Amino acid sequence: MAIPFSNTHLRVPTGFRDLLEGLVREVLRAQPRDIVAFAAEHFQALLDERERSGTDPAAWGSRLED
């Protein structure tokens, strides 16, 4: 059941917009047939990079937003 009016205010988490924009950019560039599998690989590559380098792409992007 939907509630037409609510006092709940939702905010997009810091860095989330940058993560999605990066994914969209790569999807448009690669034009994959299976976008879900491509997204899983993309985010796994970001996790691997974060573990390898010690820097978080989401945190770095969120600093650019501020």
pLDDT digits (tens, 9 = 90+) for 6-61: 677 788 888 888 889 999 999 999 999 999 999 999 999 989 988 998 877 666 66
DSSP state of 12: P
pLDDT at site 42: 95
Distance of CA 18 to the CA centre of its chain: 6
C-alpha dist (Å) from residue 31 to 3, 23, 42, 47: 38, 12, 13, 22
Is the pLDDT confidence value at 64 over 80?
Answer: no
pLDDT at site 14: 80
Tokens of residue 30, six digits: 């690669």
pLDDT at site 58: 64
Other CB atoms within a 10 A radius of the CB of residue 19 amount to: 17
